[in-house]
């Protein structure tokens, strides 16, 4: 006999929170039916970094509102379009706008696109975000290559993999000590050096919080002591789901503002500054990402034209 708790979970809660394998498959098939190439690289544009999507050639774009099961973008600086095309000849799909916990979406919903990427054939995911700099050596405009993360919502039990596990996506207990691909981190530094960007390239630890309020001074001090170099409200949930289903992950943070660590400071974090820093670094980030994409090797490179 079904208990009251099971009944509530099955009939009221779970359907709101999760997508079955079949629902993910249906979304991916809907997209593939309108496409004659399969993307190998999936790119997520952070706040103010949507220009990355404009680099794609031979674009086919979908508004999120037209894609079955997709949430809508509600944040300024996140256009809400899924753009397919090629970048330096490599088939890519690009999310021009991501979803965040603070928009009120369940964590499984904001990470749904990662599973769609996987089912579309994506092998490598490149995530970008805007973040506040906690590391005192960082300057606004620096680009931090993620080597690791601190998952604060995860500490509180809000993990996108919570709930029943579907082995068709991945294992129950995925490893996260290798979440950020080391070869891709090195590639970013190599490409960055060739482009003359070494002065503003860093490597560090990103900490995700729920947002939408920016951090207090005490919170910034605490996060810094805990080992975080930058703080934001995204990316980590997507990384966990992408790694769970076996995609390679690379992530970078544009340091759009200095996190306020000092009670004497007059600075106040604000979204306008975040978007403005994105505009100032857009071109260099586009060059960095597109040159990386050109150099990433994929298992299915030889199959590109078969779909």
Ligand X SMILES: O=P(O)(O)O[C@H]1O[C@H](CO)[C@@H](O)[C@H]1O
**The two structure tokens encoding residue 135:** 């590391």
* Cis peptide leading into residue 212 (ω within 30°): yes
| Rounded CA separation 216/263 (Å) | 10
Residues near 38 by beta carbon (within 8 Å), at least 6 away in sequence? 32, 91, 120, 121, 300, 303, 304, 307
Q: Annotated catalytic, 158?
A: no
What CA–CA distance (Å, rounded) separates 268 from 110?
A: 28
Determine if 79 is a binding residue for ligand X (CB under 6 A).
Answer: no
Question: Which residues ranging from 214 to 233 are in contact with ligand X (CB under 6 A)?
Answer: 232-233
Among candidate residues 188, 233, 251, 292, the one labeled active-site is 233
Q: Is 53 in the site for ligand X (CB under 6 A)?
A: no
CA 258/CA 252 separation, integer angstroms: 16
Q: How far is the CB of 278 from ligand X (least distance, A)?
A: 8
Nearer to ligand HPA, 116 or 274 (CB): 274
State how far Cα 187 lies from the chain centre: 19
By CB under 6 A, the residues from 267 to 286 that bind ligand X are 271, 274
Active site includes 257? yes
53 is in an annotated binding site: no
37 or 230: CB nearest ligand X: 230
DSSP-derived letter for residue 106 is: -
Asked if 207 and 231 count as a contact pair (C-beta separation under 8 A), the reply is yes
User: CA dihedral defined by 67, 127, 281, 151, rounded to 10 degrees?
Assistant: 120
CB closer to ligand HPA, 93 vs 130: 130
For ligand HPA, which is the closer residue by CB, 13 or 226?
226
Backbone φ, ψ for residue 290 (5° rounding) = -70, -35
What is the distance between the alpha carbons of residues 81 and 96, in angstroms, rounded to a whole number? 5
Interhelix angle for 112-120 vs 21-32, to 10°?
60
Active-site residue, 76 included: no
Find out whether 99 is annotated in a ligand binding site. Answer: yes
User: For binding to ligand HPA (CB under 6 A), which residues are involved?
Assistant: 130-132, 214-215, 231-233, 256-257, 259, 269, 274
> What is 124-136 written as a DSSP string?
EEEEEEEEEE-ST
Residue 19 binds: one of ligand HPA, ligand X, none (C-beta under 5 to 8 A by kind): none
Q: Is 135 known as a binding-site position?
A: no
| 198 has binding-site annotation | no
Round to whole Å and give the CA distance between 189 and 208. 23
Q: Which does 92 bind (CB under 5 to 8 A by kind): ligand X, ligand HPA, none?
A: none
* Tokens matching residue 182: 């080391």
Q: Is 90 in the site for ligand X (CB under 6 A)?
A: no
98 annotated binding-site participant: yes
Residue 75 CB, shortest distance to ligand HPA, in Å, is 11
End-to-end CA distance of the chain: 48
215 binds, among ligand X, ligand HPA, none (CB under 5 to 8 A by kind): ligand HPA
Tell me the binding residues: 47, 78, 98-100, 130, 215, 234, 257
Residues identified as active-site: 47, 78, 100, 102-103, 130, 233-234, 257, 271
Residues that bind ligand X (CB under 6 A): 46-47, 75, 98, 100, 129-130, 211, 232-234, 271, 274
Tell me the binding residues for phosphate: 47, 78, 98-100, 130, 234
């Amino acid at each position: 006999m079904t208990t009251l708790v099971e009944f509530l979970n099955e009939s009221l809660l779970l359907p709101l929170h999760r997508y079955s394998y079949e629902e993910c498959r249906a979304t991916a098939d809907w997209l593939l039916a309108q496409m004659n190439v399969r993307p190998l690289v999936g790119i997520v544009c952070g706040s103010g970094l949507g220009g990355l999507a404009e680099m794609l050639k031979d674009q086919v774009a979908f508004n999120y509102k037209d894609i079955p099961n997709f949430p809508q973008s509600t944040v300024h600086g996140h256009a809400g379009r899924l753009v397919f095309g090629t970048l330096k000849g490599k088939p890519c799909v690009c999310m021009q706008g991501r979803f965040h916990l603070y928009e009120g979406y369940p964590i499984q919903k904001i990470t749904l696109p990662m599973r769609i990427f996987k089912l579309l054939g994506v092998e490598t995911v490149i995530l970008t975000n805007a973040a506040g700099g906690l590391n005192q050596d960082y300057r606004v405009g620096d680009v931090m290559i993620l080597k690791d993360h601190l998952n604060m919502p995860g500490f509180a039990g809000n993990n996108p993999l919570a709930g029943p596990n579907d082995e068709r996506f991945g294992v129950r207990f995925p490893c996260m000590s290798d979440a950020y691909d080391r070869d891709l981190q090195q590639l970013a530094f190599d490409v960055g050096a060739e482009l003359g960007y070494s002065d503003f390239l860093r490597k560090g630890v990103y900490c995700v919080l729920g947002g939408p309020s920016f951090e207090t001074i005490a919170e910034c001090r605490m996060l810094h002591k805990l080992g975080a170099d930058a703080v934001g409200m995204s990316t980590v949930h997507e990384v966990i789901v992408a790694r769970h289903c076996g995609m390679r992950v690379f992530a970078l943070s544009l340091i759009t503002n200095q996190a306020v660590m000092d009670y004497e400071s007059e600075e106040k974090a604000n979204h306008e500054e975040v978007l403005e820093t994105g505009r100032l670094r857009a071109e260099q980030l586009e060059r960095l990402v597109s040159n990386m994409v050109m150099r990433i090797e994929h298992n299915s490179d030889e199959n590109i034209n078969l779909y």
